[in-house]
Amino acid sequence: MGRPKKKLPTLLLKFVPIETEDADIKSTILQQNNLLHLSHSVLQKKFTKRSFEDARHVVIEVSPCVRRELLTLYKLKLQWSMCEVVAFITVNRCHKCLGFGHTARFCQNQAYFSFGAGDHHRNKFENKHHIRCSNCTNANTHIHDESRKANTNHSVFSRDCPRLRRIETIIISKREY
């Protein structure tokens, strides 16, 4: 039995013009940016992340060669606009317990407040100046070597959270780059 097939990477296209049809995204990108040599590669819309009055942010799934080319360009011509291209990694986060890898709908955990890591409900937390990440605190309970425990003095929403970075590393390892 072999290894599971890795997923294709995703990119975020920022400010795609509203008038650009989903079915035309690939052909427009390839034609307007001199990338026709990539016409047999994967480049498909996954979903729209955010919409504005005249533009939207679109997540696309691409093959590794397309990813390299588009990230090198940094900005793409798309009709009469220039769209920024950035790597896109999404981590599922529960809005109830603020943990990773599941959603509130399937959460069996207790609700947590974003400042503290205790077993209290977010409405009953008194000391909002004591910030402690519940994800790092929970992960530390499984680590016996004190020198390997993560720093917990940050918000669960911090981009510098060691637990978040670890989850992102796992997600990246399951992608075909």
Distance CA 63, CA 123 (A): 45
More confident site: 118 or 11: 11
Q: CB burial class (10 A; 0-12, 13-18, 19+) of residue 98?
A: buried
What structural domains does the chain harbor?
A: 10-88 (3.30.70), 104-173 (no CATH)
Distance CA 16, CA 84 (A): 9
Average pLDDT, the chain: 87
Distance CA 23, CA 45 (A): 8
Distance CA 167, CA 139 (A): 12
Please list the residues that pair with 44 across neighbouring strands: 61
159-174: average pLDDT: 92
E strand map for the chain: 10-17, 43-51, 55-62, 75-78, 81-88
For 65-105, how does the pLDDT look when each residue is reduced to its tens digit (9 = 90+)? Answer: 999 999 999 999 999 999 999 999 989 999 888 999 898 99
Those residues with Cβ within 8 angstroms of residue 170's Cβ, 6 or more apart along the chain or in another chain:
none
Q: Are 140 and 150 within 8 A, CB to CB?
A: yes
Percent of the chain residues topping a pLDDT of 70: 88
**pLDDT higher than threshold 80 for residue 113:** no
